[in-house]
Amino acid sequence: MTELMTLKKDYAGRDFLSLLDYSTEDLQYFLQVADYLKAEHKAGRPTPYLQGKTMGLIFEKSSTRTRVSFETGIYYLGGQGLFLSSNDLQIGRGEPIKDTARVLSRFLNGMMIRTFSHDIVTELAEYADIPVINGLTDLLHPCQVLADLQTIREHKGELAGLKMVFVGDGNNMAHSIMNGGARMGMHVVCACPEGYLPDPEIVAAAKAAAELTGGSVEVMQDPLIACQDADVIYTDVWASMGQEGEKAEREAVFAGVYQVNDAVMSVAKPDAMVLHCLPAHRGEEITEEVFESHPEIFDEAENRLYAQMAVMALLLQDAE
């Protein structure tokens, strides 16, 4: 058996709630470990960093990529994953989050939660004695953007200096793209309609982070101006999970303008990447033609596996 890469102990026992909780150097190391795990997996070599460890996967929001990538990643790391639906937990019947956190800490080595309110994740992390990973909240989606950064680096070589534009709702994806891009010295622009702009506090924090790395963060409303000379264009559905009742209202605001289409691509760089966290609603936020001509979207989906494996391996390792 090939000798395993020795992981830095700096991250043992930490939570992964926001990309801004980690420095530029930290995120670069996460990406280095993700690349290593991907190469080892492609070569058929085992990476049992979670041997004998258990990971609880709490889902209050349903998922395809998050569930499959986490369960598969735990398996490849030699650990045991437990799918925990809110319908199956007492949390779904009113048990306080802090009690759930303290009980599960006695059984598990780590937890991932995919939920609605970000306050649930922060409370879980506050009371848990084991690492908590944010698998998605309405505010942030850090695991997705770590995979996005891995994908961009694979295709572009470097991250610093690249222009990344998000087109659409100023949602959890826009927030984490700003956070991750700022940390990596990228120039991030979010093109969002009035009334659907990113959270001002998130924007301010991302701008402060960008000042330290030579990057920048900007919010505007015109996608064609925003996408001028873009290296990466990113989009997401207009109505996220839990916003289905706003679908018609949102379509009236977004349709025909906040869409990644030929017009948007024509002002970007000729080799611009297109990314989408999926699932995609073709004909709404992205056209069928643009979607099908950018296979890197599925590289991005695949990299959820390796980025999250890196997070789990680093956080759940023994401190000594």
| Segment 169-219, tens digit of pLDDT | 999 999 999 999 999 999 999 999 999 999 999 999 999 999 999 999 999
CA distance 136 to 143: 8
pLDDT digits (tens, 9 = 90+) for 48-98: 999 999 999 999 988 899 999 999 999 999 999 999 987 777 776 678 999
Provide, rounded to the nearest whole percent, the portion of the chain with pLDDT above 90: 91
Beta-sheet strand order (sheet of 163-167):
216-220, 187-191, 163-167, 232-235, 273-276
| Predicted pLDDT of residue 320 | 78
CA distance 166 to 162: 13
CA distance 16 to 134: 6
Q: Crossing angle, helix 172-183 and helix 24-42, to 10 degrees?
A: 100
Spans of all domains in the chain: 9-140+303-315, 143-301
Q: Contact 110/318 with Cβ under 8 angstroms?
A: no
Residue 57 backbone dihedrals phi, psi, to 5 degrees: -120, 100
Q: Contact 114/63 with Cβ under 8 angstroms?
A: yes
pLDDT digits (tens, 9 = 90+) for 107-130: 999 999 999 999 999 999 999 999
Helix extents (H) in the chain: 24-42, 65-76, 97-107, 118-127, 142-156, 172-183, 200-213, 223-226, 247-254, 262-267, 288-292, 296-315
| Predicted pLDDT of residue 243 | 76
Query: Would you name the residues annotated as active-site residues?
Result: 114, 141, 144, 236, 277, 304
Q: Hey, what are 120's tokens?
A: 């649930």
Helix extents (H) in 229-285: 247-254, 262-267
pLDDT digits (tens, 9 = 90+) for 141-174: 999 999 999 999 999 999 999 999 999 999 999 9
CA dihedral 24, 121, 36, 73 (to 10 degrees): -170
For range 229-239, the mean pLDDT: 96
Q: Do domains 9-140+303-315 and 143-301 have the same CATH topology?
A: yes
Tracing tokens 């700003």 back to the chain, one arrives at 178
pTM for the model stands at 0.97
- Which fold would CATH assign to domain 143-301? Rossmann fold (3.40.50)
User: Three-state SS for 7?
Assistant: coil
CA distance 303 to 146: 9
Q: Hey, what are 311's tokens?
A: 């997070």
| Predicted pLDDT of residue 247 | 84
pLDDT digits (tens, 9 = 90+) for 33-45: 999 999 999 999 9
Which CATH class, in words, describes the domain spanning 9-140+303-315? alpha beta
pLDDT digits (tens, 9 = 90+) for 269-316: 999 999 999 999 999 999 999 999 999 999 999 999 999 999 999 999
One-letter amino acid of 108: L
Q: Contact 296/155 with Cβ under 8 angstroms?
A: yes
Give the pLDDT band of residue 268 (cuts 50, 70, 90): very high
| Predicted pLDDT of residue 94 | 78
Q: Which of residues 89 and 12 earns the better pLDDT score?
A: 12
CA dihedral 170, 173, 178, 179 (to 10 degrees): 130
| Predicted pLDDT of residue 252 | 93
CA distance 202 to 179: 8
Give the pLDDT band of residue 15 (cuts 50, 70, 90): very high
Q: Residue 36, CB half-sphere, CA atoms under 13 Å: how many?
A: 19
Residue 220 backbone dihedrals phi, psi, to 5 degrees: -145, 180
